[in-house]
Structure 1
């Protein structure tokens, strides 16, 4: 291998796979690379046939090779990994864990935060999506699971629905699913696996009961490859049903954010979701009050849903240990418009009062240290 061959290999090897977020060299996707005259012959192997990131990877590889001094032309040859190579890749991605084993157990350094509410219609999913994006914008690695199987809305809120209503499916590498990325967040939802009735028809309904719901949530936690995450947010269905119990059983060490509106009808039932979290061993770390009083341009304060609900929930759940009211998110037309457009308000209108309130919650989560007590740290003696 000549020095120029080696320079091209290093340049191409540094290209990052946009789905797996690792370099091609680390993923063993490089093949024969040689230089003849000023032409670089570059071989790479994609993970699967029809890889959705193929065009971007090819363009990045060409650009990386062409940027090497002494190279004026690039001859790119694209192949596909063999079954044995894919098997080796999935084993590397699992970092030694057996297949179907959940990576978010008590020893994981990923903080798992479930976002729940007592009833629907309080804006829980909208807040969860915005919170995930706000955390990612702070430089954290964030995953988002849409566990609201019957009422999934995360794909739309994250801008993953195109003009035809289609939602991208995860890329499958053998038995691993690689989630789509939106606004820097890795996202998985049952809405990615359902077909529309026709070109203009709605996505099909999910008519599942307990066992199927349990299996779906379990697969999201075991078969989806999120990589190394700082935080995993789970958008829970409202109430205290099957999925809430499943998540409590699978992730008893997770933390819980409770969402309510100021209205007593919402805050009274929101307490129940927090009490269920206590019963399954989870820890309620805060309450978010949504649809709080809105201040008009002339200074008039409009409290459509009343006031005090968030503080009441925090007080009711803080009998044993204090539970803070992390933020009161005001009613905001801009928040609704951003949600409908699939662009979180924290990116679309960061100056809005609702965006500021959501950023307060993100700041509180980002500041909170990971609980390492009783966890086995990945440290080896030298």
Structure 2
């Protein structure tokens, strides 16, 4: 092979390797300046890459995909991979690039953002709000949307377990840190962050630590999730809210007054009466209630009989009280599969897509994906030609 052929082959290898995406940042290695010296000598390609940090959890996957990409170039029979780590200056340059010119601790989901923010709320606990939120996020991602999920239920976090983000010690998978940025773990195409990812088990069988925080700490946690976590470009950001109308609801109302709100209730009056309050408080902060989801609705048994364990009509009642512009978007029936899959950390919309509950959630995702964005009053990032 001549020198010219070697240079041409090296360029081909660089293009192939540069197209490999970082699984956490979801951007090509070439765009992230992670490529280093690349040479071709005969049929042997020597490829250098620089990972973002020491102990990068995606190192093995990146190494495999880079090696495969280089080997896919015609004429390459062997790949020698040299893996290094970015210098502090290189990491600073990377974080500045990822921030897209935003100042440190500046929230990217303000009123001018094109990301649709949806807070999923409920009046009381135990209505299955987190299970609905986790499955809704996965169903939206399945439709090709870029989806982020913030577990804002700091005291009662459950999203990591529902999505199967479980570490070997029984705790939740932790985010990767690049200087001041946190990269959220990805499950089923959903970028996810939760306070549970920062708590570890005391021993192999012990429970996760509890969070005993008051208002200021809760506000700071939600704020950090919105500013210090790198979600990248999202179509939809879901927030799994704690039940009720307490500190976190107020903080989210202050930080994201333009957010849409989805109210989850069960059919019974005890839940629906309280669910109305969460919608009313959201409106007081300027947020828009886009609809109601009735969970644990009547299920049809194999013999054709209908079991309405929690009664009926609660979701419609909440929608009616909240106004004519608030529809009942979904009625999700009781489902043993949905419950079992939640306990196992597997979204039912993936494992049991034909289950009636999964079908209802997928229909809900379709309605949300098709709904027009409320862009009135927002300045869009457009310039005249």
Query: How is 1:129-140 mapped onto 2 (pairs within 5 angstroms)?
Result: 129-140=134-145
TM-score, normalised to structure 2, is: 0.97
2:348 corresponds to: 345
Q: Structure 1 residue 373: deviation in Å?
A: 2.6
Query: Which is further off, 10-19 or 365-374?
Result: 365-374
Q: Which runs of 5+ in 2 are unaligned?
A: 1-5
Query: How is 1:235-246 mapped onto 2 (pairs within 5 angstroms)?
Result: 235-246=240-251
**Matched position secondary structure for 1:329:** strand
Q: Structure 1 residue 374: deviation in Å?
A: 2.7
Q: Structure 1 residue 166: deviation in Å?
A: 2.7
Q: Deviations over 1:84-121 (max 9, x none)?
A: 11011001101110010000000000000000000000
2:147 corresponds to: 142
**Counterparts of 1:374 and 1:306, CA distance in 2:** 41
Q: Deviations over 1:241-282 (max 9, x none)?
A: 000000000000000000000000000000000000010000
2:364 corresponds to: 361
**Counterparts of 2:38 and 2:378, CA distance in 1:** 44
Q: Deviations over 1:35-60 (max 9, x none)?
A: 11111111110000000000110111
Query: Which is further off, 98-107 or 37-46?
Result: 37-46
Alignment counterpart, residue 119 of structure 2, candidates 93, 107, 114: 114
1:378 corresponds to: 381
Alignment counterpart, residue 80 of structure 1, candidates 74, 77, 85: 85
**Counterparts of 1:153 and 1:106, CA distance in 2:** 28
Alignment counterpart, residue 201 of structure 1, candidates 206, 218, 231: 206
**Matched position secondary structure for 1:149:** coil
Please give the root-mean-square deviation of Cα atoms over the aligned residues, in Å: 1.0
Query: Which is further off, 111-120 or 165-174?
Result: 165-174
| Contact residue 169 and residue 201 of structure 2 kept, 8 A | no
**Counterparts of 2:60 and 2:356, CA distance in 1:** 40
| Contact residue 171 and residue 199 of structure 2 kept, 8 A | no
**Matched position secondary structure for 1:89:** helix
Query: How is 1:156-167 mapped onto 2 (pairs within 5 angstroms)?
Result: 156-162=161-167, 164-167=169-172
**Counterparts of 2:277 and 2:174, CA distance in 1:** 34
Alignment counterpart, residue 270 of structure 2, candidates 258, 265, 271: 265
1:184 corresponds to: 189
**Matched position secondary structure for 2:120:** strand
TM-score, normalised to structure 1, is: 0.98
**Matched position secondary structure for 1:113:** strand
Query: Which is further off, 68-77 or 103-112?
Result: 68-77
Q: Deviations over 1:133-160 (max 9, x none)?
A: 0000000000000000000000000011
| Contact residue 295 and residue 334 of structure 2 kept, 8 A | yes
Q: Structure 1 residue 164: deviation in Å?
A: 3.7
Q: Which runs of 5+ in 1 are unaligned?
A: none
2:225 corresponds to: 220
**Matched position secondary structure for 2:172:** coil
2:326 corresponds to: 323
Q: Structure 1 residue 162: deviation in Å?
A: 4.2
Query: Which is further off, 367-376 or 150-159?
Result: 367-376
2:237 corresponds to: 232
**Matched position secondary structure for 1:75:** strand
Q: Structure 1 residue 372: deviation in Å?
A: 2.6
| Contact residue 149 and residue 190 of structure 2 kept, 8 A | yes
1:286 corresponds to: 291
Structure 1 residue runs of 4 or more that deviate by more than 6 Å after TM superposition: none
Q: Deviations over 1:11-62 (max 9, x none)?
A: 1101110110000000000011111111111111000000000011011111
Matched, 1:250 2:249: no
**Counterparts of 1:23 and 1:166, CA distance in 2:** 30
**Counterparts of 1:372 and 1:122, CA distance in 2:** 31
